Amino acid sequence: MIGSDGREIYRVVWPRGARTVQASNVAPRLSTLEGKTIGQLWDDLFRGDEIFPILEEELSRRFPGVRFVRYDTFGSTHGRHEGKVLAELPEMLRRHQVDAVISGMAC
């Protein structure tokens, strides 16, 4: 197609693909951490093994009744077993009666 100034005009299409997810809301939050069970999920990277104990200590100080299910219970969330770990995660969370999760490390 030739435009008014003599240069060719191109009519072009979109190069992307359709989104397949509709955004959804996250799970309901807790009113407090007191008396709750917190599961730890770790991808074995970036010093989570140092950070999770610090969080445990600090959170226990503020919420004396909080308890933790440690990351080695669930397996690494990144790596060879990622698919398996994630597939089993909902059942594992149920089995251990986990109320909330702290998941790391995105670095």
Partner 1 sequence: MDALWVLVPAGQRASGEWIDDTLRARAAEKGLLGRSPRAGEFPRQRVELVRGADPVAAVNRLYQERGWTDGLPIVPPTLGRIDEMVAAGGRDRHASLGEVAPLAGLATVEKIAANAVMAGCEPAYFPVVLAAVEAILDPAFNLRGVQTTDENVAPLLVINGPVAARLGINAAWGALGPGWPANATIGRAVRLVMQNLGGGWPGAVSFAGLGQPGRYTLCLAEREDTPWPQLHVELGYRPDQSTVTLLRAETVINVTGGLEEVASVMGSAASLFGILHSGKPAVVLSPLTARRLHADGWTRAMVREALFTRGRLDAATWRGSWIRTAVRASDWPGWVSAAAAHGSIPAVREPDDITLVVAGADLPIPQHAYCPSWGYPPCRVTRVIPEAGQGP
Partner 2 sequence: MLRASAVAERAGVPTASLVCEGFIGQAATTSVGLGLPGLPTALVPGHVDVQSPEELRRNVAAVTVDAVIRNLTEAPAAVAGAVVEPAPGDIVFEGTFDEVNRYFYENDWSDGLPIVPPTPDRVAEFLRFCDRAPDTALGVLLPDKRRATVWNVAVNGVMAGCRPEYMPILVALIEAMADPRYGVEHSGNTPGAETLIILNGPLIKELGFNYEQGALRDGIQANTSIGRFWRLYLRNVAGFLHHRTDKGTFGNTWRVVLAENEDALRRIGWTTIAEDEGVPGGNAVTISRYTGGGVIASVFGNTPDRMLPYLADAIVGKVGWELLFTVGMGVGSQRPLLILSPILAETLARGGLDKSALKRRLFELARIPASKLEKYVGEWTNFMPGRPKLTDLVKAGQIPAVFAESDDPQRLVPLVCRPEDLMVAVSGDPLRTNAYAFAHNGILGYPTTKPVRLPADWSRLLREARAR
Q: Give the binding site for partner 2 (CB under 8 A).
A: 3, 7-33, 38-39, 41, 43-51, 54-55, 58-59, 62, 77-80, 82-83, 85-86, 89-90, 93-94, 98-107
Interface map 11-30 toward partner 1 (x if CB under 8 A):
--------x---x-------
How far apart (Å, rounded) are the C-alpha atoms in residues 46 and 5? Answer: 58
Backbone angles phi, psi at 4, to 5 degrees: -65, -25
CA proximity to 103, closest of 55, 59, 32: 55
Catalog residues that contact partner 1 under the rule CB under 8 A. Answer: 4-5, 19, 23
